Amino acid sequence: MQTEDSPVTDHRTRLLQGLAQSVATKGYADTTIADIVREAGVSRRTFYEQFDDKPSALIALYESASLRGLRVLRESIDPARDWQTQVDQALSAYLGSLAQNPVLLRTLFVEILGLGATGLAARRRVHDQMADFMLDVINAGREPARLERPMALAVVGGIHELVLQAIEQDRAQALPDLSAAAGRLLLAVVQGRAA
């Protein structure tokens, strides 16, 4: 059984960090396996013990970064506050964290789509997790629910579409400015449900 501190886990973590570093420097298209292993300080063989190829490493990086994003969301809320304040705090923290590395952000939001069905499946898993988080915060055991799953998923997709637009316009550093619009979108959906 592997522990969190095992060499295999350490190698995988180092490879993901190496991929992130190389992507931040060169972009995904120009990053090679040699770049990744050089940044990670491991062998090519070690790379292939962890990943089938560069796209599978990108999927793993995407999922790892997305888990960090979810952690930012969870850590930014104060359950003692009303759901709107919690969501506003979470959106602000999440968008702020995304803005910290524009090159990696472009890779994770744009390049993942170039991986075809595998990339789309990874994106779907992440969107599902974020929708679940949103439902937990907004509904908080309330019956009837303020927000239903299809609408939560639509809001997540809408927010990520705003992020993609900012990336395409080279405005990734301004992502925190989107938190007000994202909050209004969510509020409109929740209020529309109540109507």
- pLDDT class of 7 with cuts at 50, 70, 90: low
pLDDT given for residue 6 in this prediction: 55
Helical residues (DSSP H) of the chain, grouped into ranges: 7-26, 33-40, 44-50, 54-75, 83-98, 102-109, 117-139, 149-168, 179-194
pLDDT given for residue 184 in this prediction: 93
Instruction: Delineate the domains of the chain, giving CATH numbers in brackets.
Output: 1-51 (1.10.10.60), 55-194 (1.10.357)
pLDDT given for residue 188 in this prediction: 92
DSSP assignment of 24-50, as one string?
A: HHH-TTT--HHHHHHHHT--HHHHHHH
Q: What is the pLDDT of residues 136-161, one digit of tens each?
A: 988 887 778 789 999 999 999 999 99
- pLDDT class of 2 with cuts at 50, 70, 90: very low
> How many separate helices (H) and strands (E) can be counted in the chain?
9, 0
Share of the chain above pLDDT 70, in %: 94
pTM over 0.85? The answer is: no
Q: Is the pLDDT of residue 9 over 90?
A: no
pLDDT given for residue 106 in this prediction: 83
- pLDDT class of 50 with cuts at 50, 70, 90: very high
Q: Is the pLDDT of residue 47 over 50?
A: yes
Q: How many CB atoms lie within 10 A of CB 178?
A: 21
* Cβ pair 170, 83 in contact under 8 A: no
Average confidence (pLDDT) over 97-118 = 87
Q: What is the pLDDT of residues 73-98, one digit of tens each?
A: 889 988 888 888 888 899 999 999 99
Q: How many CB atoms lie within 10 A of CB 34?
A: 11
* Nearest C-alpha neighbor of 159 from the set 85, 69, 64, 79: 69
More confident residue, 4 or 71: 71
* Cβ pair 172, 103 in contact under 8 A: no
pLDDT given for residue 3 in this prediction: 39
Q: Is the pLDDT of residue 32 over 90?
A: yes
* Nearest C-alpha neighbor of 87 from the set 175, 185, 173: 185
Instruction: Look at the block and give the residue holding tokens 């679940």.
Output: 132
pLDDT given for residue 108 in this prediction: 84
* Cis peptide bond upstream of 144, omega within 30: yes
